[in-house]
Chains A and B, each alone.
Chain A
Amino acid sequence: MDGQGQGQGQGQGQDRLANRHQARTPLHAKALIEELDHKQLVVLRDGRKIVGLFRSCDQFANLVFQNPYERIIVGKQYCDLPLGSIYLVRGENVVMMGRVDEGREIPSTLQLVSPAEIRKAQQAEKEEQLIRGTMLKRLDFLDLE
């Protein structure tokens, strides 16, 4: 920070900050800058999907979102769980980020359910996968091709 913009009104200060951001952002961050102020879906390393208005980023792909929500889809059901107003995702957890096509955001075949229901469905799916996993392990000795 070079101390420019001190004593400015906050709005102007922020403009200046934004301009400086653009002027000094090296080319390698351009890919992300282009996506600013669009609604994005982020896939995290733990498999969670977060949708929100993309507000800021840096060269590590640390990302800031406004009014984000976690989107959970289990089978034919889905639910959007709000995550608060501002959310910063640390870059190392980011797998990918894609611009969400407004209007065709949710496939019409999916049915909106309550957070409680989606949690239940999620739990059931997890248990099913666990059972399938242990079954396969037990059958391992059969040396199935």
Chain B
Amino acid sequence: MLFYSFFKTLTGKEVTVELKNDLAITGILHSVDQYLNIKLNEIKVVDEAKHPHLLAVKNCFIRGSVVRYIQLPQDAVDTDLLHDATRREARNAA
């Protein structure tokens, strides 16, 4: 559940989600759930001309299983804290 908690701390931040179908969407992270399904607000498709369907869409739900990468804002991530949390999680699992 580490990354679930991690993404919860990122709500309200702007992220870019790259999907396995090569669609990339930038938006404000609204919520995330245990499957890492993602909800974004105020979305903008990176290659808008190629996806005219999505011009009418302002918020979206993305199924966790189709996500390839998520680009995060550098200043929103405390890597030391994440590092510690990773070790703690590993210890608890053992």
Contact = CB atoms under 8 A, between A and B. Distances in A.
A31 B32 CA distance: 8
Contact of A61 (B53, B54, B57, B63): B63
Given A45-B21, A99-B59, A31 B39 contact: yes
Contact of B54 (A28, A31, A32, A41): A41
Contacts of A107: 52, 55-56
Contact of A98 (B59, B65, B66): B59
Given A28-B34, A32-B61, A47-B21, A96 B66 contact: yes
**Do most interface residues of chain A lie in helix, strand or loop, or is the interface mixed?**
mixed
A131 interface: no
Nearest to B35: A28
What class of interface size applies to chain B in its complex with A?
20 to 34
B26 interface: no
Contacts, number: 78
Contacts of A55: none
Nearest to B60: A98
Contacts of A96: 19, 23, 25, 60-63, 66
A92 B33 CA distance: 17
Nearest to B62: A96
A97 interface: yes
Contacts of A17: none
Interface of B: 19, 21, 23, 25, 30-31, 33-35, 37, 39, 43, 52-63, 65-66
Closest 8 CB pairs of A and B: A98-B57, A98-B60, A28-B33, A96-B62, A49-B53, A97-B61, A105-B56, A31-B39
Given A95-B23, A99-B59, 5 more contacts: A31-B33, A97-B60, A99-B58, A100-B56, A107-B55
